[in-house]
Amino acid sequence: MTSESWSFFRGVTYLFRMENDEDEWSYDEEPHVSRRKEILSKYPEVKNLMGPDIKLAYFSSFEVFLQFIVAVYISIYQPPFLIWLFLTYAISGTLNHSLGCAIHEVGHNLVFGHKYGKANRLYSIFINLPMGLPIAISYRKYHQTHHRWLGHENGDADMPLNLEVKLFTHPISRFIWIIIHPLFYAFRPFIKHPLPLTLWEIINFFIQIIFDLFIWYYFGIWTLNYFIIGTLLGLGLHPLTGHFISEHYLFIDQQATHSYYGIANYLMYNLGYHVEHHDFPYIAYTKLPKLKEIASEYYDHLPYHTSLCKVLWDFVFKPNNGPQAHCVTSQDLSKPEIYNHQPISSNGLKCTRELLKISECEQCKKEKIKKKE
């Protein structure tokens, strides 16, 4: 084999590489890595919470089953457009958003564990089917950059594009941004931080296309639209979309990561426990509330959200919000020091949320002065 042929062969294999089936993620983003070490040092029993939980497979498979039941109903009874639209938004939009959250969980190897990479990938492709668009494997790949370089302009694939920052500054344009959010969410990683195409992505693509053609041929175009448009609506102007904004957009407090504690967590596989998730990405969704309970002093003082609808409202109508409000830790705009200790006020009590929204507590300032001296 000539050197030119060998170089070409190596280039092709790199372009279409198969990811390591037993890969373990590298979770080293700040400020969460410091908190992780501190919590483990203080509460070693947290290690017992780590590991996969097969229950996600039961619940997400049931969601896939429900989607097929509604799809069969649409195919057989061909409901009027308004009823179809209601089913697409309320059921397909909600279930497909929930399945997207399940794909996030599977992407962290939290169904079958690190040792069974193929099983995790194949299962994510399976629960991806009702979404109509092949997102599971690409999401897994680019989500790693989010955890490795949280809030870094050129590393975190979730960081908004400059185009988004410049265009969507007015309340009306921000509302439009929410509607077309699925498009930015889908293509942003490929523009911002392109990575080599993998064989698993190709497998995901062809399985999804075959499934979509099967649905179209045997169940009709409106059934296929129920899946695909449901995904676009569910990730766009939908109450659950608030979690995309609540997680890493800076509101008053300049905190890089926020949690949401509300009823929608039942549909989102506790993705609302987002500070907890970034602290310990290899703790399954079922055990994140237990983590918060064990290490309560690391979480109870932090500002959090209680309504995803209010998050969307504030994003659109409050000044200084919009895509430009996404945290940028590489420019030190998110004040990561807020997370790395538990502020204590002068009377010995934990700082209130209101105090954190304004500034550091007095005890924090005294500690900094002592360090300088």
* Residue 7 located in a structural domain: no
* Residue 143 located in a structural domain: yes
| 207 and 152 both lie in a single domain | yes
Which of 201, 296, 285, 223 lies closest to 76, judged by CA? 223
| 315 and 350 both lie in a single domain | no
- pLDDT score for 16: 43
Domain that holds residue 352: 344-372
Which of 256, 54, 239, 254 lies closest to 146, judged by CA? 256
Q: How many domains does the chain have?
A: 2
| 145 and 180 both lie in a single domain | yes
pLDDT tens sequence across 30-42: 568 888 999 999 9
pLDDT tens sequence across 35-84: 899 999 999 999 999 999 999 999 999 999 999 999 999 999 999 999 99
Q: Average pLDDT, whole number, for the chain?
A: 82
Tell me the residue ranges of DSSP E strands in the chain.
Answer: 259-260, 304-305
Mean pLDDT within 236-252: 86
Task: Indicate the DSSP class of residue 350.
Answer: B
157: pLDDT confidence band, cut at 50, 70 and 90?
A: confident
* Residue 9 located in a structural domain: no
Cα→Cα distances 270→88, 284, 345, Å: 24, 9, 31
| 350 and 310 both lie in a single domain | no
d(CA 351, CA 336): 16
12: pLDDT confidence band, cut at 50, 70 and 90?
A: very low
Cα→Cα distances 259→126, 236, 274, 308, Å: 29, 20, 5, 11
pLDDT tens sequence across 180-210: 999 998 888 888 888 899 999 999 999 999 9
Say what the pTM is.
0.81
156: pLDDT confidence band, cut at 50, 70 and 90?
A: confident
Q: What percent of the chain has pLDDT over 70?
A: 77
Q: Which residues make Cβ contacts (< 8 Å) with residue 84, sequence separation at least 6?
A: 74, 222, 226
* Residue 132 located in a structural domain: yes
pLDDT tens sequence across 82-101: 999 999 999 999 999 999 99
| 279 and 316 both lie in a single domain | yes
- pLDDT score for 334: 39
* Residue 155 located in a structural domain: yes
| 243 and 359 both lie in a single domain | no
| 105 and 221 both lie in a single domain | yes
- pLDDT score for 145: 82
Which of 18-22, 186-190, 245-249, 263-267 shows the lowest mean pLDDT across its residues?
18-22
Mean pLDDT within 213-219: 98
| 56 and 103 both lie in a single domain | yes
Which of 207, 224, 217 lies closest to 68, judged by CA? 224
| 182 and 304 both lie in a single domain | yes
| 324 and 282 both lie in a single domain | yes
Q: Quick check: 343 pLDDT over 60?
A: no
253: pLDDT confidence band, cut at 50, 70 and 90?
A: low
| 351 and 327 both lie in a single domain | no
| 266 and 368 both lie in a single domain | no
- pLDDT score for 255: 73
User: Which residue would you say has higher pLDDT here, 323 or 295?
Assistant: 295
